[in-house]
Amino acid sequence: MKRKPFTVDEIEQIRLLYPDHSTREIAQLLGRSECSVYGKAFLIGLRKSPQYIERITRESADKLSKLGSANRFKKGHTPANKGRKMSPEMYERCSSTMFRKGHKPHNTRHDGAESVRTDLNGHKYLYVRIAEGQWIQKHILIWTQANGPVPNGHNIVFRDGDTQNCVLENLECISDAELMRRNTMHNLPEDVQELIYLKARLTRAINETNKNKNHERT
C-alpha cells in the first residue's frame, strides 16, 4: 500500500505541536499513525522540549507512586509473623544465606578512604573516612591536623578556588563576614575583583607586620 505523503499544512502543524505535545495527540489530530508522525518529526530535526520531558517524567512518577498505593502496608501495620520465632527446621534451611554477626558489605571502605561528593551548588568536595560511618571533608581534616579545630564563625576556603586542591598551602581560614564579602565579590567585574583581592592581601601583610613589631617590643 502506497503511503500518503504529508502535506505542507500537516508538516507545519507537526513543527508547532511536536515539541510540547504527545505524539499520540498529534497523530490523532492529523489522522496519522504515531510511527509516521514520529518518523516525520525525526526527519525534519524536531525533538521534545525540556519542559515537556520534565512534565511527562513528573506525571509518570506520580502515576507510579499512586499505582501500588492500594497494595502497600499502611503506617502502623503489624506483620502477621510479629513475635513468632523461626522453627529449627526453617532456621536450618535459611542459615546458609544469612549474614553473619559482624558481616560487612563487599564495598565497605577502610579508614583513610576518599570519596568525592557534590553539594547542592554543584561544588565537588573530597571526603575522608575517619571511622566507620564517619566521614569528614578532606580540606577540613588537613587544616585541623595542622592548626587545630576551626574557630566558631569561621570557614576553611581554597585560595585558588579549586575545591579538590586540599594541600595546606591552598587553604585559608576566614570569618563568615569575609566569606560573604568574597561571595558577593564574585558578581563584580574581574578587574575590580583583582583590586579587592590585592587590597585584602596588602591589608593582611600590614597587619602581620604590625603584629610582629608589637611582639618584638614586648
Is the Cβ–Cβ distance between 128 and 141 less than 8 Å?
Answer: yes
Q: Does any domain span residue 40?
A: yes
Residue of higher predicted confidence among 38 and 210: 38
Mean pLDDT of 134-156: 94
Share of the chain above pLDDT 70, in %: 93
Q: Residues 6 or more apart from 157 whose CB is under 8 A from it?
A: 171, 172, 173, 174, 179, 182
Q: Does any domain span residue 90?
A: no
Res. 19: pLDDT tops 70: yes
Residue after which a domain boundary falls, among 65, 91, 110: 65
Q: Does any domain span residue 209?
A: yes
Average pLDDT value over all residues in the chain: 85
Q: Which domain holds residue 203?
A: 188-218
Mean pLDDT of 126-155: 93
Res. 138: pLDDT tops 70: yes
Question: What integer pLDDT is reported at residue 217 of this predicted model?
Answer: 66
Q: For 70-120, how does the pLDDT look when each residue is reduced to its tens digit (9 = 90+)?
A: 777 888 888 888 888 888 888 888 888 888 887 777 778 888 999 999 887
Res. 200: pLDDT tops 80: no
Instruction: Look at the block and give the residue holding cell 596588602.
Output: 202
Residue of higher predicted confidence among 185 and 163: 163
Question: What integer pLDDT is reported at residue 192 of this predicted model?
Answer: 66
Q: Beta strand 154-158 with 134-137: parallel, antiparallel or unpaired? A: unpaired
Q: Does any domain span residue 153?
A: no
Total number of domains constituting the chain: 2
Residue after which a domain boundary falls, among 22, 39, 65: 65
Is the full-model pTM beyond 0.85?
no
Residue after which a domain boundary falls, among 20, 46, 65: 65
Distances (CA, A) of 27 to 16, 44, 94: 13, 16, 55
Mean pLDDT of 171-198: 76
Distances (CA, A) of 169 to 143, 145, 156, 158, 180: 10, 13, 12, 9, 22
Q: Does any domain span residue 17?
A: yes
Sign of the C-alpha dihedral computed for residues 155, 160, 162 and 166 taken in this order: negative
Res. 187: pLDDT tops 70: no
Q: Does any domain span residue 158?
A: no
Is the Cβ–Cβ distance between 40 and 17 less than 8 Å?
Answer: no
